A = this chain, B = another copy of it.
Amino acid sequence: MERIEQHACFGGRQEVWRHASAVLGCDMRVGVFLPSAALRGESCPVLYWLSGLTCTEQNFITKAGAQAHAERHGLILVAPDTSPRGADVADDPAYDLGQGAGFYLNATQAPWAAHYRMQDYVAEELPGLIERHFPASSARSIAGHSMGGHGALVTALRHPGRYRSVSAFSPIVAPSQVPWGRKAFAAYLGDDPAAWTRWDAVELIRAASPADHLPMLVDQGLDDEFLDEQLRTDLFEAACLEAGYMATVRRHAGYDHSYYFIASFIGEHVAFHAAELRG
């Protein structure tokens, strides 16, 4: 791993690292915030953040203001890129497919299957790297926004016991049922919807064993321009109710899909995870 940025930040340090990913078959960049406790060598829990469509590792670390809260709670923040990258990685001119739009799944279809294994990257390879290279404990939580909210929910639900808690801002909760998800899933996973259910939070909520339920927080802005067509918080709430899954779903009047919404409530999300990670 090679450090390519480092900035003092709220008493800790925001870093950006580049590393070769064996899983993805390309170089990847990842933002790592180390609170002062970690800089002193203390073992700290880790909160993973998955970003949305078109984002890189930069958006969350420059816009969310999460570092102030992570410093207060002594959490490491890890913010990876949203897809494999590079000239030899398959891509598409649309913003919602290919590079910048990995959807945190393992693709099975050509030309995507060669590199697009973001699920294995975020759930396995990346935590392994982080726990070897930084003073990180194995206490992990995961959060994300929009496509990354989908990614956080799906990753946590697919790996019982691996995360202490999960949260999402404005997540795509039912990708099998909305245009963004149907387009991506058809390309990455093929046309058989039976292959989609293991990558769909609403389906995974329905299938979850009660013993595996974990603390879950979802925040959604009511002025979000994507709410009705792409996000469908209502389907998530209905699935939780039906399954007896005690997720906390909050709606916020006036808030939209932007980082202004994330910044406004990221402090509560970090505190929510810290209570599970340090409690």
Residues of A near any B CB (own CB < 8 A): 7-11, 13-14, 62-63, 65, 67-68, 221, 223, 252-256, 258-261, 263-264
Copy tally for this chain in the complex stands at: 2
Question: A223: nearest residue on chain B (CB-CB)?
Answer: B8
* Min C-beta distance of A71 to chain B, whole Å: 9
Decide if A260 touches B65 in the complex (CB within 8 Å). Answer: no
Residues of B within 8 A of A253 (CB): 8
Q: Classify the secondary structure of A's interface with B.
A: mixed
Q: In the complex, which of the residues A13, A253, A261, A263 has the most CB atoms of chain B within 10 Å of its own CB atom? A: A263
Residues of B within 8 A of A254 (CB): 8, 13
Question: A254: nearest residue on chain B (CB-CB)?
Answer: B8
Decide if A221 touches B8 in the complex (CB within 8 Å). Answer: yes
The one of B10, B13, B256, B261 in contact with A263, judged by C-beta atoms closer than 8 angstroms, is B10
Decide if A9 touches B62 in the complex (CB within 8 Å). Answer: no
Give me 20 other A-B pairs in contact (C-beta within 8 A), A8-B223, A10-B264, A62-B62 excluded.
A8-B221, A8-B252, A8-B253, A8-B254, A8-B255, A8-B260, A8-B261, A8-B264, A9-B261, A9-B263, A9-B264, A11-B264, A13-B254, A14-B260, A62-B63, A62-B259, A63-B63, A67-B263, A68-B263, A68-B264
* Min C-beta distance of A237 to chain B, whole Å: 21
In the complex, A63→B66 CA distance in Å?
11
The one of B7, B8, B68 in contact with A65, judged by C-beta atoms closer than 8 angstroms, is B68
* Ranked 10 nearest A-B pairs via Cβ: A8-B254, A65-B65, A7-B260, A9-B260, A8-B255, A10-B264, A7-B258, A62-B63, A14-B260, A7-B256
In the complex, A85→B14 CA distance in Å?
33
Q: In the complex, which of the residues A9, A11, A13 has the most CB atoms of chain B within 10 Å of its own CB atom? A: A9
Residues of B within 8 A of A261 (CB): 7-9
30 contacts between A and B (CB under 8 A): A7-B255, A7-B256, A7-B258, A8-B221, A8-B223, A8-B252, A8-B253, A8-B254, A8-B255, A8-B261, A8-B264, A9-B260, A9-B261, A9-B263, A10-B263, A10-B264, A11-B264, A13-B254, A14-B260, A62-B62, A62-B63, A62-B259, A63-B63, A65-B65, A65-B68, A65-B263, A67-B260, A67-B263, A68-B263, A68-B264
